[in-house]
Amino acid sequence: MKDVAKLAGVSPITVSRVLNRPEIVATGTAERVREVIERTGYVPNLLAGGLASRKTKFVAAIVPAISNQVFSEAIQSLTDRLWESGYQVLLGTSGYPASREEDLLAAILSRRPDGIFLTGISHSAESCRRLVTANVPIVEVWDLTPTPIDMLVGFSHENVGHAVAEHLLGRGYVRFGVISADDARAEVRRKAFLSHLSTRGIADLSTVLVPAPSSFRLGREGLGRLLEEAHLPLAVFCSSDTLAHGVLAEARSRRISVPGNLGIVGFGDLDFAAHTFPPLSTVRIDRTAIGRRAADALLGRIEGKDVERIADIGFQVIERGTT
């Protein structure tokens, strides 16, 4: 800043005002300072500014994998909403399971973010201890619990499992299978699906577990494995639309009638789900709303406002051609 001030022929405090309160600086002076900033490539030291203002103007977000569209859309809406209020997002990926979350949180908290966005409600004891004592606004997303660390925006995976089971029963299927990734939230949906069917006297079900993250290939392979132990007709609940798309492709390659001999339900309502052949039945989650409402919760807490502690955004079972 001193270098910019010297080249522009002004004081360092004038440079600071141009960057932070340009409306109080004379137009000619501000233009001269901006020209020097552009010419020199000067970037303000936000850490130094944060020491003075006690705000770093960044929010940290942790997701399992940015390649998964389910999470990337929520992050995009979070980023867009925070940017409107002058905040930037620092993104970290924790993997499946969240094996890197503890180290990520230690690194993030050392940089004093103004807020933290976490995917899921399952954290190590050490991570929970750090988060509780950090005195930083925290929003957990993509899950539901009456006891969040701070704030929560999500939905019930258990209710998803029940609703999908009821949907398939209503379509007249009597044999069922599951092809599911082995992550914690998919496991909750799988167990709820099986539990609901068991209340209807259906206990003989086939399950194929695949490693997270899901892929089209794993869906195709999963149906092959499922058909080794299950008989058609069959209804299959997949833990993601990506898996369900692979199941649909494998069924077509084997000339299995969908939905006549094979019903398929995915999860997520990704952008391709309505355009497969036949269109994919699935569970719709408003991913954009998750990111936006998480951002609003963090901004509200940062500004000292009263905010909704738990927001249940719900879900919809979308019936299309595969059921």
**Over the stretch 30-86, which tens digit does the pLDDT of each residue have?**
999 999 988 887 777 555 555 555 678 999 999 998 888 889 999 999 999 999 999
Would you state the pLDDT for residue 39? 86
Burial pattern 210-241, b for ≥16 Cβ within 10 A else e, equals bebbbbbebbbbbbebbbeebeebbbbbbbbb
- Comparing 106 with 228, the larger pLDDT belongs to 228
**Whether residue 195 has pLDDT greater than 70:** yes
* Same domain for 76 and 18: no
CA of 107: how far to CAs of 72, 91, 130, 136, in Å?
22, 12, 11, 14
**Whether residue 294 has pLDDT greater than 80:** yes
Would you state the pLDDT for residue 95? 85
CA angle 311, 313, 314 (to 5 degrees): 130
Omega of the bond prior to 12 within 30 degrees of 0, cis?
no
* Same domain for 185 and 114: no
Four-point Cα dihedral 244, 245, 248, 252, nearest 10 = -160
Partners of 263 in the β-ladder: 235
Would you state the pLDDT for residue 47? 53
- Is 322 part of a structural domain of the chain? no
**Whether residue 290 has pLDDT greater than 70:** yes
Distance in angstroms (rounded) separating the CA atoms of residues 294 and 154? 9
* Same domain for 135 and 164: no
- Is 180 part of a structural domain of the chain? yes
Confidence of residue 291 (pLDDT cuts 50, 70, 90): very high
pLDDT digits (tens, 9 = 90+) for 153-185: 999 999 999 999 999 999 999 999 999 999 999
Domain that holds residue 14: 2-44
* Same domain for 11 and 62: no
